[in-house]
Amino acid sequence: MSNLKWWETAVIYQIYPRSFQDSNSDGIGDLKGITSRLEYIAALGVDAIWISPFFKSPQKDFGYDVSDYCDINTDYGTLADFDELTEKAHGLDLKLMIDIVPAHCSDQHAWFEESRQSRTNPKADWFHWVDPMPDGSVPTNWLSFFGGNAWSWEPRRQQYYLHNFLASQPNLNHANPDVIEAFADIARFWFDRGVDGFRMDAVHTVNGSVAPYQNNKPKPDFVVGDLPQQQQPFFRQLHDTGQLNQPEIQKFIESFRKVADCYDGDRFLMGELHGDDPVLASKTFTAPGRLHATYNFNLLEWAGLDVAGLKQAISSAVEAFNGTGKLTFAFSNHDVPRSATRQLAPLNLSEDSQEALQLMLLKLETSLIGSTCIYQGEELALSDVQDIPLDKMQDPWGIEFSPIFLGRDTCRTPMVWQRNAPSGGFSDANDTWLPISHPHLERAALDQAAKTGSVYNELRAFLKWRKGQSAIMDANTIELVESGPEQIVFNRISDNQTLRCCFDFNDLTASFMEI
């Protein structure tokens, strides 16, 4: 029996609840819908599910703008629905992770509504309030990920407040111990309901510093990229000297970890982060007493990676974390184009290769050290959706920069379950929150689960085989092997087995051999 914790080798299935399964015919996925599809996920052979935010929220950023961390948004159901989901997931031997958003909340949260009223109320310093410069301008040169300044004016206080994303997502002040304790209480609330872990959203954007804040420095080697988001002013700056990855963040992380360690069952904290030096940031966040693992961006390059880029991404992660389970790899999520589509271009492959490519990528990431996140639909080799009409777009990032940049809607369209069912079996409603992708109907989930040789069933067989490999399940040791320009080769090594893992991008095959 392995001595590793469950999360050190876990395959985690990410669910974007708004797009997974609608149970009440309103065109929006919900918790009861997820519960109804858990058998499909469990049959795939994954170890856990991670559900993106379903908390009470005005949905301006679709759940990443939380107005109550301990309640369910009515679009998604009730706390009783969540308890039912948890019980069924555990009954199917699935761990349950949820997405917590610690850096910012909604401007409709009671904390911010009180804080913005005056400089003397009990929540006055729960957010980052700063006086204007003498000329009335913003306090620093910090910019928002979503465009424009990272500071907005509040006339009642005659001060600016910080927001790294939308102006309706004010950053919480984690220099205030009361804020840190409030999140400890939130962690207890969900752990007490049976949650096995948290994916902690954008922890590098948590702000725990105090004024005066330091300006970001210019990025000396900045080159305007081909992708629209690379052309935004935000990417002209270095951020870890001022705005992001501040050392003070770790006080919050350490507090949250202490809460997790008080519970049985190896509760798991996985932090999403990035930075000017993401490897260094990952090391800092996974130091003793902090996060168990970081959600690794190395393989999530928006435009995809060629084989040399994939090798470099894997090599840098292995060099820093070999022998540990402190990394979580992913090729896709709800924030980037779907992996099979974006990898076709840099690898110079045709669309006919999509299924073979997706299966090989899934085998590759689940053979690396640490845990893996599979985004809903990857097991079906779903394509990215590039033809969403502008009047149907929902993502505020995409709406801001459309039509040049389509944002994240392209990877968030509803799951389809049966080709011949209305709305692909996602909903009984004719009008869904994002349009159903008609090409996706050819790879509808239940149809593929019943089809011999589908990506779903090939992955299912592979994950079953993987669980019997000591080199993958009993140790997190990897040895990179010199290989041809179109191959990635490494050995996975335990006391009982050395397994050579070969991934050939010429014929899109994966092979495994004991040596």
**How far is residue 340's CA from residue 430's CA, in Å, rounded to a whole number?**
28
Stretch 392-421: mean pLDDT, rounded? 91
Per-residue confidence (pLDDT) for residue 272, from 0 to 100: 96
Give the contacts of 501 (CB within 8 A, at least 6 positions apart). Answer: 364, 367, 489, 490, 491, 492, 510, 511, 512
pLDDT in tens, 262-295: 999 899 999 999 888 889 999 999 999 999 999 9
Q: How far is CA 274 from CA 25, 64, 194, 251, 442, in A?
A: 38, 17, 29, 18, 35
Check residue 93 and give its pLDDT: 98
pLDDT at 230: 65
Number of domains in the chain: 1
151 domain residue, yes or no: no
196 is catalytic: no
Q: Give me the pLDDT at residue 227, please.
A: 63
pLDDT digits over 457-504, tens only? 999 999 999 999 999 999 999 999 999 999 999 999 999 999 999 999
* Residue 90 Cα distances to 21, 47, 87, 369, 393, angstroms: 19, 10, 5, 25, 36
Q: How far is CA 444 from CA 338, 352, 383, 387, 414, in A?
A: 16, 17, 12, 19, 11
Q: What is the mean pLDDT of residues 385-404?
A: 88
Q: Is residue 493 part of a domain?
A: no
pLDDT given for residue 229 in this prediction: 57
Q: What is the pLDDT of residues 155-199, one digit of tens each?
A: 999 999 999 999 999 999 999 999 999 999 999 999 999 999 999
Pairwise pLDDT comparison (498 vs 232), residue with the higher score = 498
Catalytic annotation present for 201? yes
136 in a domain, yes or no? Answer: no
**Displacement of CA 35 from its chain's centroid (Å):** 21
Find the range with the poorest average confidence among 14-18, 241-245, 339-343, 368-372: 241-245
Q: What are phi and psi of 319, to 5 degrees?
A: -60, -40
Which value, in Å, is the radius of gyration of the alpha carbons in the chain? 22
Whether 166 maps to a domain, the answer reads no
| Minimum mean pLDDT range among 128-132, 244-248, 424-428 | 244-248
Preceding amide of 403 cis, omega within 30:
yes
User: Which of 211-225, 301-315, 422-436, 491-505 has the weakest average pLDDT?
Assistant: 211-225
> Which tokens go with 147?
């465009």
Q: Check: CB of residue 202 under 8 Å from CB of residue 294.
A: no
Between 137-146, 217-226, 407-416, 483-492, the lowest mean confidence (pLDDT) is in 217-226
21: left (phi over 0), alpha (psi -120 to 50) or beta: beta
Q: Evaluate whether residue 337 is within a structural domain.
A: yes
What's the chain's average pLDDT?
95
pLDDT score, position 269:
98
**Is-contact 99 16, C-beta < 8 A?**
no
CATH number of the domain that 386 lies in?
3.20.20.80
Least-confidence region, from 25-29, 96-100, 147-151, 442-446: 147-151
Gap between the terminal Cα atoms of the chain:
22
Instruction: Please say if the pLDDT value at position 228 is more than 70.
Output: no
Query: What DSSP designation does 116 have?
Result: T
Largest CA distance in the chain: 70
User: Is residue 253 a part of any domain in this protein?
Assistant: yes
pLDDT, residue 226, reads 65
What token pair was written down for 327? 């990394």
| Domain of residue 372, residue span | 6-103+177-476
Write down the number of H helices and E strands in the chain: 14, 19
Token pair recorded at residue 338: 């779907």
From the candidates 61, 99, 196, 201, give the one annotated as an active-site residue.
Answer: 201
Q: Does any domain span residue 122?
A: no
Q: State pLDDT tens for residues 106-164.
A: 999 999 999 999 999 999 999 999 999 999 999 999 999 988 999 999 999 999 999 99
pLDDT at 421 over 80: yes
pLDDT value at residue 282: 95
Catalytic residue among 272, 335, 378, 379: 272
Contacts of 375 (CB under 8 A, 6+ apart): 14, 16, 330, 331, 332, 333, 334, 338, 339, 411
| DSSP code, position 442 | G
State percent of the chain over pLDDT 70. Answer: 98
Q: Give the tokens for residue 422.
A: 């209305």
Residue 427 lies in a domain: yes
